[in-house]
Amino acid sequence: MVKVGDFEVVEGLYYSKDWMWAKIEGSKARIGITDYAQKQLKEVVFAELPSAGDKVTKGQPFGTVESVKAVSDLIAPLTGKIEEVNGEVRDSPEMLNEDPYSKGWLIVISPTNLQEELKTLMDFTKAVEWHKELAKES
pLDDT in tens, 90-129: 999 999 999 999 999 999 999 999 999 999 999 999 999 9
Strands (DSSP E) contained in the chain are 2-4, 7-9, 14-15, 20-25, 28-33, 44-48, 55-56, 61-67, 71-75, 80-85, 107-111
Nearest in space to 88 (alpha carbons), one of 100, 103, 73:
103
- Per-residue pLDDT reduced to its tens digit, 46-96: 999 999 999 999 999 999 999 988 999 999 999 999 999 999 999 999 999
Nearest in space to 59 (alpha carbons), one of 74, 70, 47:
74
2-114 folds as: OB fold (Dihydrolipoamide Acetyltransferase, E2P) (2.40.50)
Q: Report whether 114 contacts 24 (CB < 8 A).
A: yes
Predicted model pTM: 0.96
d(CA 37, CA 72): 10
